[in-house]
Amino acid sequence: MTGKILVIYAGGTIGMQASETGYVPAAGFEQRLRDQLGARVAQLPTFDMLELQQLIDSANLQPHHWTELANIIVQHWQQYDGFVLLHGTDTMAYSASMLSFMLQGMDKPVIVTGSQIPLAALRNDALDNLLTALTFAAEAAIAEVCICFNGRLLRGNRATKVKSAALNAFDSPNDDYLAQVGINITLHAERLLPAGSAHFSIPELASEAVVVLPIYPGLSAHTARAILSDNVVRGCVLHTYGAGNPPDANVELMMLLQEAIERGVSIVNVTQCLQGEVSQGAYATGATLNRIGVIPGGDLTLEAAFTKLHYLIATQSAAAVSELMVKPLCGEMS
């Protein structure tokens, strides 16, 4: 393995230590890691480590953190051949998705990983995930943002956390794995995105610009209005049933969605189902959304839809948002 890797420790379970109130982010991760690696470090790709001054418990992640992480990567882009981002699992899929949009055209790997059990624990998944991530970060064939977890390499904007208390916490239900790790490493080169020409766009994100409106039995227009009425809201991910179906018998709710669209809010429809895609119009209820101008989100994950909408709103005109939401920009949808 050749090349030099930058490992960015942003926080998360992987580097936490026990406290009286539970696991908390702890500084000084590099020394703890190198102590555990010992002489084995000579067998790994050469790596430097950068630790955020303010570590993030990923449950506290905010949109401005995506801009911060992307800027760190861009600032070091020319000095390294690959990057590993150590991140908490709760919002890992959101960050991997957003980084894929911010770093379009990349020609190097950015591998996001973490763990379900801290490195400080006697029995943990942290060391294996990190070692495997370093291996993939040194792989020149990879030119995209990926999540490496429990022996799987997943496209970052196709991944979602599916288990809260298992080591195989992540999956990509609508996309094949990019690589699998067992006794041997199987890299599916034909599934990888081609290397591009970097045209990074790292916008400042308005934290309240995008909201999520989940559909559930009994959802009232009053509740939806409270979510959509704020003038700062410019995008909404509508989380619907099955093939993209809303309760269209709730005429007041449908009118509220239409009014929001007419005043410039981009509404994107994604399914609550783990597998499959939105097919707006397959049922009469979904056809109502076509009529009022809701954007069908295909097989986007909730995380990819949310971050893509955030990114496009920050970088494009309203007309371009509608056009680009339905087109794959970096492998995020079929």
CA distances from 235 to 96, 215, 289, 322 (A): 20, 16, 15, 11
User: Is residue 16 a contact partner of residue 113, using CB atoms and an 8 Å limit?
Assistant: no
User: Is residue 303 a contact partner of residue 238, using CB atoms and an 8 Å limit?
Assistant: no
Whose CA is closest to 129, among 142, 111, 155, 144?
111
| Residue 282 identity | A
Kindly write down the DSSP assignment for every residue of 14-34, as one continuous string.
GGEE--TTS-EE-S-HHHHHH
User: Is residue 263 a contact partner of residue 230, using CB atoms and an 8 Å limit?
Assistant: no
Q: What is the DSSP letter of 195?
A: P
Specify whether 91 is catalytic: no
User: Is residue 270 a contact partner of residue 246, using CB atoms and an 8 Å limit?
Assistant: no
Choosing from 2, 13, 21, 271, the catalytic residue is 13
The alpha carbon of residue 237 and the mean position of all alpha carbons in its chain are separated, in whole angstroms, by: 15
Annotated catalytic sites, by residue? 13
